[in-house]
């Protein structure tokens, strides 16, 4: 194989890898939104990828040359000299050219898709020179066929890089990235301007071929100065010009397209002085010089330059990945802290009414008895009710009708819910204030003041729709079922039902966000010990995961209390805790639905970004690309 073919094939490989990397990066960016990564658009490496590498890698090569520089220094004049006609309007007023004008070799537009070469521009066929002067919000590009151009050379005039019309800068930057050759027009006034330096520093980093033209020189006085200007310019920007020209300040010649461009040596010979003008003193034809450039070499050089920028570890795609990873780790650390500190401890969750439990158990019991036993039972019940009736009446008359215990429970549960929500808001506020920049806006969204009364209304609505009777029934049914199947002491238990005195306020913890290793395991441990000691019932619920990691005093039943009232007590603890568990689950689900939405999931997925497929794929793609480019460097024999 010839080295040219080899080169061709390795470039094809690079082109494919670049495509892959491009797709992967975009997908990754979409996935990483939560981390608020710096937007891809506007990052130099990404724009190079999009505007230069993706459209230009692979396929047969061509060369893009662009005339660039500050406003009102004669870019359009130089361009017109290259074009050989007034293809671009020039005016004495600044920032005249607002859209690029492109000369295209004849038939080029049929062989290539111009739009994909200039992805950011809206293409128009050139009709009059002045249309590039008109202001419009779109990025326009006016192209015109130029038969006299070599078949693979495109020449552009670009908007300025330093006027207050910043959109011009954006357009000039886009042209710069697509370009292989830059004709840098400089003047005495502008060669050291910050804006100019910034622009050309980027061009140098991309290894563009640069032809410097010092325009509007006062000749012969400035012969003495241009070497100084050029040295300053080169040392400030890192540019190493491929050729240097100077042109006099001659407005009439400029209008007539007869401005002479004298070439000057670079690097400047040591013995250079104002008295040693160039060899023949004859002006050069810029277009011929441009056509005589070594296209293939320059193109390779600029593609590689752009690839290097893309792969640069401190400013390119790898650093973007690194930033993403760091942000993700930062978020993970923050969330870990949040999930361990943002545990709501609800102390005052009301205890469910024992009386209702007892009634419910009786009910359950009755439904399951048959024959004689049932009769006896209902007889006693009737008698009991009969005896109790007058007392009840008397009490009602004196104290007023008592509030049904479940209604009372509902009331106090609402209080507990309000307390929880309030504490939740406090915690969230704390998280927003002390959390990191990524979490803050999301939480602030949740905390919006205007939403609060609606939230309360909607919680209230949900809460008043809860059927506590049914809740209680379900709890009792499920618990009694398991109890009756493995306890021989059932009857004893039933007989003692009225002795119940268990009344504890369950202590409830709600974990707001848990990522992987939340505090779940820690909070679980003390329950078992405490349950036996009758101190409190802990209920642990995880809002984030939506999982129910309830731990009730299981051991209490089997271990702590053998028989009799001890067992009864433990049994009621269990009922309480199961019931409370159900209620707190209900609440946490509601909080998720009404308040947090998918914020916890988003956080979790963002914190795990470096492990995601998208991230791994992107990192791989970049690594592949890197090694391909390195290979290219080492294998290639310089021409």
Residues that bind another protein in the complex, under the rule CB under 8 A: 70-73, 92-95, 162-166, 187-195, 197-198, 221-222, 225, 228-229, 232, 249, 403, 408, 411-412, 414-415, 418-419, 421-422, 425-426, 429, 447-450, 452-453, 456
Helix axis angle, 295-311 to 317-341, nearest 10°: 10
Cβ–Cβ under 8 Å, residues 177 and 47? yes
Q: Kindly report each contact of residues 92-97 with a partner whose C-beta sits within 8 Å and lies 24 or more positions away, as own/partner.
A: 94/160, 94/163, 95/71, 95/159, 95/160, 95/163, 95/164, 95/165, 95/168, 96/71, 96/72, 96/133, 97/132, 97/133, 97/157, 97/158, 97/159, 97/160, 97/168
- Please, which residue, 223 or 336, has the CB nearer to another protein? 223
At residue 558, the 3 state secondary structure works out as helix
Phi, psi of 213 (to 5 degrees): -120, 115
Shortest separation between residue 389's beta carbon and another protein, angstroms: 25
Shortest separation between residue 450's beta carbon and another protein, angstroms: 7
- Please, which residue, 382 or 429, has the CB nearer to another protein? 429
Length of the chain: 639
Token readout for 362 is 């009786």
Shortest separation between residue 21's beta carbon and another protein, angstroms: 31
Shortest separation between residue 251's beta carbon and another protein, angstroms: 8
- Please, which residue, 109 or 193, has the CB nearer to another protein? 193
- Please, which residue, 450 or 485, has the CB nearer to another protein? 450
Q: Give me the half-sphere count of Cα atoms (radius 13 Å) on the Cβ side of residue 505.
A: 11
- Please, which residue, 48 or 185, has the CB nearer to another protein? 185
- Please, which residue, 358 or 456, has the CB nearer to another protein? 456
Contact partners, residue 544, CB within 8 Å, separation at least 6: 339, 511, 512, 513, 514, 515, 518, 600, 604
Shortest separation between residue 161's beta carbon and another protein, angstroms: 10
Shortest separation between residue 159's beta carbon and another protein, angstroms: 12
Token readout for 561 is 């209390």
- Report the relative pairing of strands 262-264 and 243-248 from DSSP bridges: antiparallel
- Please, which residue, 194 or 465, has the CB nearer to another protein? 194
Provide the 10 A C-beta neighbour count for residue 370: 7
Shortest separation between residue 164's beta carbon and another protein, angstroms: 4
Distance CA 420, CA 509 (A): 10
Distance CA 31, CA 33 (A): 6
Shortest separation between residue 95's beta carbon and another protein, angstroms: 5
Note if the bond before 220 is cis, omega within 30 degrees.
yes
Shortest separation between residue 160's beta carbon and another protein, angstroms: 8
Shortest separation between residue 410's beta carbon and another protein, angstroms: 11
- Please, which residue, 162 or 542, has the CB nearer to another protein? 162
Shortest separation between residue 416's beta carbon and another protein, angstroms: 10
Provide the 10 A C-beta neighbour count for residue 449: 6
- Please, which residue, 166 or 392, has the CB nearer to another protein? 166
Among candidates 310, 60, 321, which has minimal Cα distance to 177?
310
Residue with tokens 């330059």: 305
- Please, which residue, 313 or 448, has the CB nearer to another protein? 448
- Please, which residue, 73 or 153, has the CB nearer to another protein? 73
Among candidates 143, 146, 106, 112, which has minimal Cα distance to 125?
143
Render the burial of 614-636: b for 16+ CB within 10 Å, e for the rest: bbebbbebbebbbebbeebeeee
């Amino acid at each position: 194989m010839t080295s040219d073919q080899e080169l061709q094939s390795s470039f094809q490989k690079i082109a494919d890898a670049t495509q892959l990397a491009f797709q992967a990066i975009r997908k990754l960016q979409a996935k990483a939104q939560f981390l608020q990564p710096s937007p891809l658009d506007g990052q130099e490496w990404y724009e190079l990828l999009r505007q230069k590498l993706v459209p230009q890698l692979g396929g047969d090569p061509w060369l893009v040359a662009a005339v660039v520089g500050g406003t009102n220094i004669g870019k359009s004049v130089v361009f017109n000299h290259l074009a050989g006609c007034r293809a671009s309007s020039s005016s004495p007023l600044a920032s005249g050219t607002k859209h690029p004008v492109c000369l295209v070799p004849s038939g080029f537009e049929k062989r290539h898709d111009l739009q994909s070469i200039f992805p950011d521009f809206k293409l128009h066929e050139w009709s009059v020179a002045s249309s590039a002067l008109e202001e419009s919000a779109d990025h326009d590009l006016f192209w015109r066929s130029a038969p006299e151009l070599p078949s693979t050379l495109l020449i552009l005039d670009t908007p300025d890089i330093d006027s207050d019309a910043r959109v011009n800068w954006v357009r000039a930057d886009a042209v710069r990235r697509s370009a292989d050759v830059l004709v840098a027009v400089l003047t005495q006034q502008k060669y050291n301007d910050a804006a100019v330096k910034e622009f050309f520093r980027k061009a140098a980093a991309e290894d563009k071929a640069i032809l410097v033209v010092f325009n509007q020189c006062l000749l012969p006085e400035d012969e003495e100065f241009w070497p100084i200007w050029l040295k300053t310019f080169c040392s400030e920007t890192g540019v190493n010009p491929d050729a240097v020209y100077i042109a006099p300040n001659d407005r009439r010649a400029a209008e007539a397209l007869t401005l002479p461009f004298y070439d000057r040596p670079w690097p400047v010979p040591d013995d250079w002085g104002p008295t040693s003008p160039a060899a023949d003193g004859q002006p050069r034809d810029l277009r011929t010089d441009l056509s005589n450039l070594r296209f293939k070499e320059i193109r390779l050089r600029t593609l590689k330059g752009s690839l290097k920028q893309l792969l640069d570890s401190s400013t390119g795609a790898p650093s973007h990945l690194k930033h993403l990873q760091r942000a993700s780790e930062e978020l993970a650390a923050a969330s870990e802290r949040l999930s361990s500190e943002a545990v709501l401890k609800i102390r005052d969750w009301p205890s469910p009414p024992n009386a209702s439990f007892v009634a419910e158990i009786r009910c359950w019991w009755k439904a399951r008895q048959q024959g004689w036993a049932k009769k006896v039972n209902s007889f006693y019940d009737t008698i009991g009710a009969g005896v109790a009736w007058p007392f009840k009446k008397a009490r009602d008359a004196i104290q007023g009708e008592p509030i049904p215990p479940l209604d009372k429970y509902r009331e106090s549960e609402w209080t507990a819910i309000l307390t929880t929500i309030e504490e939740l808001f406090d915690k969230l506020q704390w998280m927003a204030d002390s959390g990191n920049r990524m979490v803050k806006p999301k939480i602030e969204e949740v905390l919006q003041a205007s939403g609060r009364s609606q939230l309360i209304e909607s919680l209230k609505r949900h809460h008043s729709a809860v059927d506590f009777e049914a809740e209680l029934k379900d709890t009792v049914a499920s618990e009694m079922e398991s109890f009756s199947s493995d306890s021989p002491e059932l009857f004893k238990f039933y007989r003692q039902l009225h002795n119940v005195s268990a009344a504890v306020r369950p202590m409830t913890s709600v974990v707001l966000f848990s990522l992987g290793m939340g505090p779940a395991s820690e909070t679980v441990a003390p329950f078992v010990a405490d349950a036996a000691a009758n101190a409190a019932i802990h209920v642990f619920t995880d809002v984030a995961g939506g999982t129910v990691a309830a731990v009730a005093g299981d051991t209490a039943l089997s271990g702590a209390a053998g028989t009799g009232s001890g067992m009864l007590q433990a049994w009621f603890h269990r009922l309480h805790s199961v019931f409370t568990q159900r209620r707190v689950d209900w609440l946490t689900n509601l909080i998720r639905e009404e308040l947090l939405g998918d914020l916890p999931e988003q956080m979790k997925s963002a914190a795990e970004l470096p492990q995601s497929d998208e991230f791994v794929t992107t990192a791989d793609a970049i690594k592949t690309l890197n090694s391909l480019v390195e290979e290219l460097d080492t294998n290639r024999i310089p021409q």
